[in-house]
């Protein structure tokens, strides 16, 4: 995967933002082959938080009373706010027809405990929280993920992106089809998870 060079440095991508301020669209694409209208912007607490809580509950279902689910959503909200205000990790939302499709977090791989032992300069980690719509369509998954990665690769410093996958349903082969390769982590064993890497060419 490759992309044109972005005129901004990667510091622009990872700069702290106000979690409660409306943010402009960073990138958009209309895929004529699939009729997907995709766009990418910083995560919006007002527009995306309810969707993120729903995605989180479906990805990690637990039979808890409603008050416990509210606590889990509050914890997720606090994590997202912290990351939006950070200069090491940032949170974005990919939209389909202007509706939230999935959350994608990005940070330098050296800041991830599982990747730090073998991370090199230019390595970044992605973490996805996807809707059932995206999880149910490999074509949509591949197109949306490629769209986001192409945007990230437009930043000169970003040479490769990693995804640690295992709890994501049906995405192992999908990541391979989206241009990732499954790698072995030297001396690292991540329980029930696998590491996938996509390199910019």
Q: Report the C-alpha gap between 151 and 27 in whole angstroms.
A: 7
Q: Report the C-alpha gap between 110 and 159 in whole angstroms.
A: 13
Residue 7 backbone phi and psi in degrees, to 5 = -75, -15
**Residue 65's CATH number:** 3.40.630.30
Question: Looking at per-residue confidence, does 117 or 92 come out higher?
Answer: 92
pLDDT in tens, 22-81: 888 999 997 666 789 999 999 999 999 999 998 888 776 655 555 566 678 889 999 999
Tokens 């940032």, residue located: 90
- pLDDT over threshold 70, residue 3: no
- Given a contact cutoff of 8 angstroms between Cβ atoms, the answer to whether 128 and 93 are in contact is no
Q: What pairing do the DSSP bridges indicate for beta strands 194-199 and 160-165? A: antiparallel
Is 124 among the domain residues?
Answer: yes
Is 125 among the domain residues?
Answer: yes
Is 195 among the domain residues?
Answer: yes
Is 91 among the domain residues?
Answer: yes
Instruction: Rank 31-35, 52-56, 184-188, 197-201 by mean pLDDT and report only the highest.
Output: 197-201
- Mean pLDDT, rounded, for 135-164: 92
Which pLDDT band, with edges at 50, 70 and 90, does 1 fall under? very low
Is 102 among the domain residues?
Answer: yes
- pLDDT over threshold 50, residue 2: no
- Mean pLDDT is lowest, of 120-124, 130-134, 196-200, for 130-134
Is 2 among the domain residues?
Answer: no
Tell me how many domains the chain contains: 1
Domain coverage including residue 114: 10-199
Is 1 among the domain residues?
Answer: no
């Amino acid at each position: 995967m490759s992309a044109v060079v972005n005129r901004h440095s990667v510091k622009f991508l990872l700069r702290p933002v106000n979690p409660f301020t409306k943010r402009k669209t960073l990138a958009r694409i209309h895929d004529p082959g699939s009729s997907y209208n995709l766009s990418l912007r910083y995560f919006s607490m007002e527009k995306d938080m309810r969707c993120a809580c729903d995605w989180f509950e479906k990805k990690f279902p637990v039979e808890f009373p409603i008050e416990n689910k509210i606590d889990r959503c509050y914890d997720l909200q606090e994590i997202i706010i912290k990351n939006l205000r950070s200069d090491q990790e940032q949170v974005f939302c990919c939209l389909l027809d202007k509706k939230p499709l999935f959350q994608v977090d990005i940070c330098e791989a050296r800041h991830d405990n599982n990747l730090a032992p073998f991370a090199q300069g230019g390595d970044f980690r992605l973490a996805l929280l996807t809707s059932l719509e995206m999880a149910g369509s490999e074509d949509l998954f591949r197109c949306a993920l490629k769209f986001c990665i192409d945007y990230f690769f437009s930043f000169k410093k970003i040479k490769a992106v990693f995804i640690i996958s295992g709890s994501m349903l049906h995405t192992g082969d999908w990541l391979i089809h989206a241009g990732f390769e499954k790698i072995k982590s030297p001396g690292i064993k991540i329980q029930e998870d696998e590491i996938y890497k996509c390199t910019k060419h």
